Amino acid sequence: MAALLVLVASGPEAAPRALEGLKLARSVHEMGMLEAVRVLLTGPGVRCLDPEDPEAEELEAEVRALVEAGVEVVACTRSLAEHRLVDAAARIPEVQPVGAPTWLAAEVGAGAAIASF
């Protein structure tokens, strides 16, 4: 079976786009037709975890729903630092910080398909 990587590079400034990616990831996971569904928050996408941004509230709720459903969610360490969200991301310990280039290369090397939002 195949794997899907949903790359969310949109944050609260483009909330409908980011939310669509997060909801797609959860729907595909719940369908159970793929071996794995993973989500990478990168660039402004890490702002889905920003507790100071009221526009991010629904996005964070969807990230939490993904984690509860068993979807692996990771966040780019560089982006977290750039947006000053390292501590905010730690509020959801299941969202692991990763070096996005290395992590992404490994996923692609393993054959994951990518959907970007």
Domains detected in the chain: 3-116 (3.40.1260.10)
pLDDT tens, residue by residue, 67-91: 999 999 999 999 999 999 999 999 9
Partners of residue 113 on adjacent β-strands: 4
Is pLDDT of 108 > 80? yes
Is pLDDT of 31 > 80? yes
Give the pair of three-digit tokens for residue 65. Answer: 């729903």
Contact 85, 52 (CB under 8 A): no
